[in-house]
Every structure is written in C-alpha cells, then in structure tokens.
Amino acid sequence: MTRDEFIQVMGDLMILALQTDLTRLATLMSGPERWSAPLTVHGLFEKPVQHHCVTHAQGKEDVRKELEQLDKLHILQFVHLVAKMDAIEEGEGKYHDSQHDIYLGLWIE
C-alpha cells in the first residue's frame, strides 16, 4: 500500500467513526507516526528516509524540493478527505456542512 493510499484509508476510517457517532473529534496525522519512522513515498524518495533527519537538511536544494513535494502530497490528501466528506448527503445538506476542518502544517527553516 502506498503512503497516499494509507492516508486515504485512515481518512475513510475517520469519516466512518464521525458518521457513526463513535467520536465527535478526530485527528488525522499524515506525516510519519514516529520521529524515527522510515518514510517511503512512492515516486518521491528513492529509498525510505527518516523524515525528522531530512527536515534538518533543508539548506540543500534537492532536499528542500523533496520536502516541498511531500508537503504537497499531504495537502492533496487533506483536500481529498474534505472532498469525500463534502460528497456525503445528510438530511437536507451535506455531512461536511456540520464539520470544521483544520489543516496544520509545520515548516522549519
């Protein structure tokens, strides 16, 4: 399973938990689960990388470009999740009408 597929499955589970009232608050972390977790993103990194270590090498242009692509992947996954919630019919409106979404990203210079 690719990283984007994994994030989408976790998003689907989050939406299901919200819809079935198992919870009213959910957090979806699309970044690595642990600082030292090797991160593999299909089409972005040639081999697994440790995200935390990579963020300390932002002074290198090639690393910075990879991190920009990774940030773009995470933003696109958030957009995908919001679009899924927006497509769900509920009552006289959309399920997403009663939700609040926040995207929080961290960029360290």
* Eight-state DSSP code of residue 28: -
Q: Assess if residue 106 is contained within a domain.
A: no
Rounded to 5 degrees, what angle do the CA atoms 26, 28, 32 make? 150
Domain for residue 103, yes or no? no
Domain count, the chain: 1
- Up-side HSE of residue 44: CA atoms within 13 Å toward CB? 22
Q: What is the pLDDT of residue 34?
A: 66
Q: What is the mean pLDDT of residues 80-90?
A: 87
Answer whether residue 105 is part of any domain.
no
pLDDT-based confidence at 3, cuts 50/70/90?
confident
Q: Print the domain residue range for 61.
A: 3-98
**Residue 3 CB burial class (10 angstroms; 0-12, 13-18, ≥19):** buried
pTM, 2 dp:
0.76
Measure the CA–CA gap between 51 and 32, rounded to whole angstroms: 7
In a domain, 12, yes or no: yes
Evaluate whether residue 84 is within a structural domain.
Answer: yes
Q: How far apart are alpha carbons 21 and 50 in whole angstroms?
A: 36
Per-residue pLDDT of 9-64, as tens digits, reads 999 999 999 889 898 888 888 776 666 677 778 788 778 877 777 777 768 888 88
